Amino acid sequence: MKTIRLALLSFATVISSLVASAQQAPAQAFVASMSGSATVTAPGSTTAAPLVIGQVLPEGSTVITAEGGSVLIQSHKGMETGLGSKATAVIGTHSVSADGVRTAVIDLKEGTTVSVLDPSKRATNNYAVRTAKGVAAARGTVYATTVTLSSGGQVTVTVNTLTGAVSFAIAGGQTVSVAAGNSANSNSTASTPISTALAGATAAEKAELVEAFKLATTVVTIIAVNDQTNNQMTALGATVGTVIDEIRASGETNLVDAFLKGVSAGVAAGQSATVVTSPDGTVQSITAPAPSSGSTPAQTIDITIVSPSSTP
């Protein structure tokens, strides 16, 4: 089975607009890939079992990744969620409406996700990452959502938009629009440039964002290889360039170097990928080289494009 190696980064509010109201057909997420160790607890169960590639994830399934583990979840074609190390997520609503609207909600309890939504399916995409502090919703976007739990039990949610735009509904009924290249925090009612947010970030937070850019760049490039009408690669490149220029201007050259190495590794892997498709355009397999020496990330994920298994 062919694989591609990718770099991966280590309240509740009203979301009725995210759920198609009439004649919904059930849809199920499945594990498109994973590396390291992860478990799943089935709906209604209290027993966790090892997660496997191809496993169907019914609504209510809880996925937990171990340290160094990572999982790629496909909700619908062109709607993927990368779950990073030491993360916990519950599979929320998944459905397809009578008029073709494809809904997917991921309940992120802890850790980081990178969501990749094919913009060519923007009209039918209805996707959100739901957290204890707000809901980050989008339709044709690449963005990272991080839930951080402090030792005192405080929850902070950060959204970093890499392409497109994200609607981040937070407490108090307020909604923050997070455009490409910007960051929003659940403790604020406004978004700021990612470079500004990084100025006060910890080393761990900076490293997480670099890994998010690596993953997003590679996945989007592969989408572009398979679908020449997809323009996410151009948009992502513009955002990366802008963020790097802003960080360079602030004098943080070490972080600039990290961004450049990460993005180069992602682009090289994506552009070197060989995509095998069936006559109807469905991806059968993708193969690409591992990142070059010196750019190998601390955490990686082997992406294997498969079909969902018939049994959990």
Residues 108-167: tens digit of each pLDDT: 999 888 898 888 888 999 999 999 999 999 998 889 898 988 777 789 899 988 888 999
Q: What is the mean pLDDT of the chain?
A: 76
The pLDDT score that the predictor gives to residue 191 is: 93
Tell me the whole-structure pTM to 2 decimals.
Answer: 0.79
**Tens of pLDDT, residues 12-34:** 222 333 333 334 566 889 988 77
Distances (CA, A) of 112 to 2, 82, 92, 227: 26, 8, 16, 27
CA–CA dist 89, 110 (Å, integer): 7
pLDDT band at 10; cut points 50, 70, 90:
very low
**Tens of pLDDT, residues 286-311:** 555 544 444 443 344 455 545 565 44
* CA atoms within 13 A of residue 279's CA, in its CB half-sphere: 0
The domains of the chain are located at 4-303
Other C-beta atoms within 10 Å of 279: how many?
5
Architecture of the domain spanning 4-303: Sandwich (2.60)
The pLDDT score that the predictor gives to residue 237 is: 73
CA–CA dist 219, 234 (Å, integer): 13
- Percent of the chain exceeding pLDDT 70 equals 68
pLDDT band at 93; cut points 50, 70, 90:
very high
